[in-house]
Amino acid sequence: MESASPAPLGNPLADLRRARRKNRMQELDWFEAAYRVYLVAIGFGGTALWASSFIKDSKVDAKAVADIYHYGPAVLGMLAVAAFAAGLRSGSRGGPLAIEEADVRHVLLSPVDRRKALLRPAFQRARSSSSLGILVGALAGQLAGHRLPGSDAAWVFSGAAFGLGIAMLFVGAALVAHAFTFPRWAASAVGALLIVWETFSIVKHIAGPGNTYGSLALWGMRQRWFDLAGPAVSAVLVVIGLTLLRRTSLDALARRSGLVAQLRFAVTMQDLRTVVLLRRQLSQENTRSRPWIRLRRNGGSAVVWRRGWHSLLRFPVSRMLRMALLAVGAAACQVAAFKGTTAMFLLSGALLFLLGMEALEPLSQEIDQPDRMASLPHKRGDLLVRHLIVPAVALVPFAAIGVLTAVLLDRSSGTLPVAAILALPTVWMGAAGAAVSIVKDAPDLGSVSAEQTMLPPEMSGLTTILRTLLPLIVSVIGSVGVIVVRASFNHGQSTVAAAVRIGVALLLLVAFTAQWVRRRDDWKAKFKNIMAEGKDVTAQQRAQRAQTTRSGS
């Protein structure tokens, strides 16, 4: 008698993922998920579309169009080169994949083909990056269509194609660099070489590695089928990376899985400071064990000064270069906003916010150790405001970098005085938004969010979004000065006088932010006392009415 053949096992990996997806769906509150999507769509997408339609910039002249034809492909190609360099660095540091820890421990250590197990997460990573690139590129294309010749639909399409190509280039470069275990120094060297090459392409008008991508971004006003070679190269890189998934490092996945889980939790809690720290750990960006220059001990109030400088002097070279690039990018956006592309002041404020988050490392380190701060014989507000002095001084060189960038991009006679007047107040205002973000996330163990208890549940989600956007709004206010100066220039008024007025106003706002950091705890305590007194009065009135009712009956 023949023995019965064993039943086929099917696909255990697919069955496992199907069961986990089913469990997630059962625990998902669909109404809450739809409400969050609604808030995000209204708060971000709707606001972006409204702003893009509200801004009515005039069309550029024929000379500007000729300059865009001449310089545009190389300048925009620098974004593609930067994305490729960032992908190489991400892959050399263990990226770009980050899966759940359970998959690392059980699925990847089981006798399952590693490529088959990682194909779905890798495809999801490429899909999410591509979606983000398409959305950002389409929005940028819509804004460009307000000023450049061509239809809005054509510019939206070209911007979306450009964003898709850059996103796929990043993911493909990261996957390939990870598969071939590209050393970090080699990734940095190749990226720097390509950036230098593209820089010479901008200056000397030679063929650059990213010019094809940059030319694709200009399809809104002219089409060249050869420009499709850029996205084709990106797609080939992604396919090669997916093919080489068997070479993925388990150690890198294990390290990144825990960090990504913490990162998602920090994003859920709107803790931007923790998000920045976890991003540095993901990229393995470690500070120096010793500062570049060690300061002598003087005692007294100079302790905070010395600690602040030692914190900044431990920055690695990569972080300093990133801060310099943020300053250059913010200055370039300011020049673009002055020349007529109004929406660029929003991007300038966002870049200055990131620059402030980097420079306010001493304040962040103090916030991260609340127990030590509570043990010191000083009020928390007084101690925190002292930690703002060193970053304010350290931002002066980056303001100078912004002035130099503005002068190089716009060589008119009035650029230098206006940039010199506005640079430092604008940079400090960007850092003020970062300070608001860091301080508002400071732990307050004895506090209950009184403002949330006053609001109905339907408004809690909108309140959370507003609290998250408040620091960015503060930073963006600092970049409004260039719009005021542009209005004065268009009306034939003195741009220097307008720059002085707006600079003084920004300095007053910076001083108010510092005062808020210093007095925040006192103001919150007074607000709590007022709310408590109001509750006591209300309780007494209710008790009196109840007693009167009983007496009357």
pLDDT digits (tens, 9 = 90+) for 158-213: 999 999 999 999 999 999 999 998 888 888 899 889 988 988 888 788 888 888 99
Q: Which amino acid, residue 269?
A: M
Question: Nearest-CA neighbor of 69 among 156, 163, 150?
Answer: 150
Looking at residue 451, its pLDDT comes to: 45
Residue 410 pLDDT level (bands cut at 50, 70, 90):
confident
Of 24-28, 66-70, 410-414, least confident by mean pLDDT is 24-28
Looking at residue 445, its pLDDT comes to: 45
CA distance linking residue 384 with residue 382, whole number of Å: 6
Asked whether the beta carbons of 345 and 337 are under 8 A apart, the reply is yes
Residue 504 pLDDT level (bands cut at 50, 70, 90):
very high
Higher pLDDT among residues 387 and 43, named by residue: 387
Looking at residue 310, its pLDDT comes to: 86
Looking at residue 397, its pLDDT comes to: 94
CA distance linking residue 85 with residue 78, whole number of Å: 10
Looking at residue 8, its pLDDT comes to: 47
Question: Nearest-CA neighbor of 144 among 81, 52, 223, 70?
Answer: 52
> Per residue in 442-465, pLDDT tens?
665 444 444 444 445 445 555 566
Looking at residue 519, its pLDDT comes to: 85
322-329 long-range contacts, CB within 8 A, separation 24+: 322/358, 323/355, 323/358, 323/359, 323/398, 324/398, 324/401, 326/351, 326/352, 326/354, 326/355, 326/358, 326/398, 327/355, 327/398, 327/399, 327/401, 327/402, 327/405, 327/427, 328/401, 328/402, 328/405
CA distance linking residue 398 with residue 426, whole number of Å: 11
Residue 39 pLDDT level (bands cut at 50, 70, 90):
low
Looking at residue 238, its pLDDT comes to: 93
Question: Nearest-CA neighbor of 108 among 118, 94, 98?
Answer: 118
Domain boundaries defined on the chain: 60-285, 290-440+458-525
Residue 68 pLDDT level (bands cut at 50, 70, 90):
confident
Looking at residue 61, its pLDDT comes to: 73
- Burial of residue 467 (CB within 10 Å: 0-12, 13-18, 19+) is middle
pLDDT, averaged across the chain: 80
Supply the pTM of this predicted model: 0.76
Q: DSSP 3-state assignment of 480?
A: coil
CA distance linking residue 90 with residue 25, whole number of Å: 32
Is the pLDDT at 1 greater than 50? The verdict is no
Chain Cα centroid distance, residue 382: 29
> Per residue in 236-282, pLDDT tens?
999 999 999 888 888 888 877 777 766 666 655 556 677 777 777 77
Give the residue-averaged pLDDT of 38-66.
Answer: 61
Residue 299 pLDDT level (bands cut at 50, 70, 90):
low
Looking at residue 2, its pLDDT comes to: 46
Looking at residue 220, its pLDDT comes to: 84
- Residues 6 or more apart whose CB falls under 8 angstroms from that of 473 comprise 433
Looking at residue 421, its pLDDT comes to: 92
CA distance linking residue 511 with residue 432, whole number of Å: 9
Question: Nearest-CA neighbor of 515 among 353, 364, 382, 396?
Answer: 382
Asked whether the beta carbons of 57 and 144 are under 8 A apart, the reply is no
Is the pLDDT at 142 greater than 90? The verdict is no
Residue 500 pLDDT level (bands cut at 50, 70, 90):
very high
Looking at residue 462, its pLDDT comes to: 54
Secondary-structure percent of the chain, ordered helix, strand, coil, rounded to 5: 75, 0, 25
CA distance linking residue 414 with residue 420, whole number of Å: 10
Of 17-31, 305-319, 485-499, least confident by mean pLDDT is 17-31
Looking at residue 551, its pLDDT comes to: 72
- Of the ranges 77-91, 138-152, 200-214, 216-230, which is most confident? 77-91
DSSP 161-192: HHHHHHHHHHHHHHHHHHHTT--HHHHHHHHH
What are the distances in angstroms from CA 5 to CA 9, 15, 258, 270? Answer: 12, 22, 43, 56
Is the pLDDT at 351 greater than 70? The verdict is yes
Token pair belonging to 13: 């990996």
Asked whether the beta carbons of 362 and 387 are under 8 A apart, the reply is yes
